[in-house]
Amino acid sequence: MRANNTDLRGRLRVSVPRTFVDAPAGQALIDFAKAHGELTLEIVAEDRFVDLVEEGYDVAVRITRLEDSTMIARKLASSINRVCASPAFLASLETPLDKPADLANHPVIIDTNPKSFNTMRFQNPEDGTAFSVPIHGPIEVNSPMVTMRGALSGLGIALLPDFVARRAIDSGELVSLFDEYLPQHSGIYAVFPHRRYLPAKVRSFVDYLSKWFRENDCEKH
């Protein structure tokens, strides 16, 4: 049965990564709250994987290769990390940056959120073998948004989630490098506990995010 307005009252507790909240995609949460004024949207932004049942969450947004079979998940969009630099930075280079291995010789603004933040991982486009390149740079920070600002300022190269860097790449403020070497995509998922009946407020929230990503040209591959 179609949900009515009385089903969309009360509180919806959502766990989201800080990266998602700070990125342009975070606007989707604000837009949902504006569209459902009788519903209190409680957004808890943190980068750990919360226990939805034990900690009382209705739904979580996760950026991962999903493996948890105890949850129901709906894919909202693909997510891939892109190697980016500003045109001015690239024009200033005096040593080659023609292949991923060359990154070891250039400054990188390092996002410390990934487990192996002192390397960049790639995949050989010819045979699919994985390899890593050691990186170093002038800044280490646990924020993709600060990392992007460093790249935009010409401070160095950055590894950025596509949903963070997409607008800057599309506008030409950043150049995406070595796309053919990027490893397998992960995804952005809405995750919620198994229930016999999915609450209307959860269904509406997930539908809204899915529609937002479609309208904002985020591929669902």
pLDDT digits (tens, 9 = 90+) for 177-191: 999 999 877 789 999
Report pLDDT for 67. 63
* Alpha-carbon span 146 to 152, nearest angstrom: 10
Instruction: Report the mean per-residue pLDDT for the chain.
Output: 88
- Reported as type and span, the H/E element at residue 15 is strand 10-16
For the question of whether the overall pTM of this predicted structure is more than 0.85, the answer is: no
**Residue 219, pLDDT above cutoff 60:** no
Residue spans of the domains in the chain: they are 5-79+185-215, 81-181
**Residue 2, pLDDT above cutoff 50:** no
Q: What are phi and psi of 213, to 5 degrees?
A: -65, -40
Domains 5-79+185-215 and 81-181 share a fold: yes
DSSP assignment string, 43-80: EEE-SS---TTTTT-SEEEEEE----TTEEEEEEEEE-
SS3 label, residue 216: coil
What would the CATH number be for the domain defined by 81-181?
A: 3.40.190.10
- How many Cβ atoms are within 10 Å of 7's Cβ, its own excluded? 15
Report pLDDT for 6. 52
Report pLDDT for 3. 46
Residue-wise pLDDT tens digits, 31-44? 999 999 899 999 99
Q: Which residues contact 12 (CB under 8 A, 6 or more apart)?
A: 39, 40, 41, 42, 58, 59, 201, 202, 205
* Alpha-carbon span 184 to 174, nearest angstrom: 22
Q: Which residue type occupies 109?
A: I
Report pLDDT for 221. 38
Q: What is the mean pLDDT of residues 65-82?
A: 80
Fold of 5-79+185-215: D-Maltodextrin-Binding Protein; domain 2 (3.40.190)
* Alpha-carbon span 173 to 152, nearest angstrom: 7
Better-scored residue on pLDDT, 6 or 94? 94
SS3 label, residue 81: strand
